[in-house]
Amino acid sequence: MGILSLFRNLRRKAGPARSGFAAGDAGGPTRGLEQHAAAPEIPSPPAPAGVEKSATPAFANLAEHSVLVRPVITEKATLLAAQGRYAFRVTSEATKTDVQRVVENLFGVHVTHVRLITLPSKLRRRGRIVGSVPGSRKALVTLRDGERIDLSAAVPFEKEQSAASSSNRRAPATPELTG
């Protein structure tokens, strides 16, 4: 019999009121707290006439769609897309079922298989300074035969980024000004 079992026995004898105060005592832990009635339920406004409620809207939960970071657009990924396999960067917490559900809801396709690849972080040096490139996670999604995803429509932000980066570059020299 250890010393901790003595404390356990004392707690059992004390019962449910551990602090020694009864709930209605003036000096108890509830002193100064006012009793409030439960707030009444507020009814939700009715839907406007002529507008149907969707059972599962595409962006019902934005946190759910944050599993996909961006599609991978490389030479290898475009060759895989011709076979009905698409590559996406996903968050490190993403699971296969999360990726499958999000791709099916977002693009309206049927996913048959998902592979997750964890890319390791890499060390990079520039002189004596050592840094690291963070690792990431990639998902390869296989679709049902005959189904396709248009990735150019799915990634409008890449066009904006490329336009912004090209405006920061110097314009090429024109033949009129170099003469």
Mean pLDDT of 45-63: 50
pLDDT in tens, 4-16: 666 676 666 666 5
Given a cut of 60, is residue 105 above it in pLDDT?
yes
Q: Which of the residue ranges 46-50, 89-93, 157-161 has the most confident prediction, judged by mean pLDDT?
A: 89-93
Classify 12 as helix, strand or coil: helix
Q: In terms of C-beta density within 10 A (0-12 exposed, 13-18 middle, 19 or more buried), how is residue 107 classed?
A: buried
Q: Is residue 73 a contact partner of residue 149, using CB atoms and an 8 Å limit?
A: no
Given a cut of 70, is residue 157 above it in pLDDT?
no
Kindly provide the residue ranges of all beta strands, DSSP E only, lying in 102-162, ordered along the sequence: 111-119, 122-126, 129-133, 136-143
CB atoms within 10 A of CB 141: 27
Considering the entire predicted model, what is its pTM? 0.52
Q: What is the dihedral of CA 165, 158, 97, 57, to 10 degrees?
A: 130
Q: What is the dihedral of CA 89, 91, 93, 95, to 10 degrees?
A: -30
More reliable by pLDDT, 111 or 4: 111
Domain 62-146 indexed as CATH 3.30.70.330: yes
Q: Output the six-digit token pair for 154.
A: 């799915």
